[in-house]
Amino acid sequence: MPAITPMLWFDDKAEEAANFYVSVFPNSKITKVARRPAGAPGETGDVMLVEFELDGQTFSALNGGPMFQFSEAVSLVVACKDQADIDRYWDALIAGGGEESMCGWLKDKYGFSWQITPAIIPELMAGDPVRAGKAMAAVMTMRKLDLAKIEAAANS
Q: Show the low-confidence residues of the chain (pLDDT under 50).
A: none
Domain-located, residue 69: no
- By residue range, what is the domain housing residue 49? 7-63
Residue 96: CB atoms within 10 Å: 10
pLDDT of residue 1: 77
Domain-located, residue 118: yes
Mean pLDDT for all residues in the chain:
96
pLDDT of residue 41: 83
pTM recorded for the entire structure: 0.93
- Same domain, residue pair 145 and 106: yes
Q: Is 106 exposed, middle or buried (0-12, 13-18, 19+ CB in 10 A)?
A: buried
pLDDT of residue 132: 94
pLDDT of residue 40: 86
Domain-located, residue 1: no
- Same domain, residue pair 80 and 150: yes
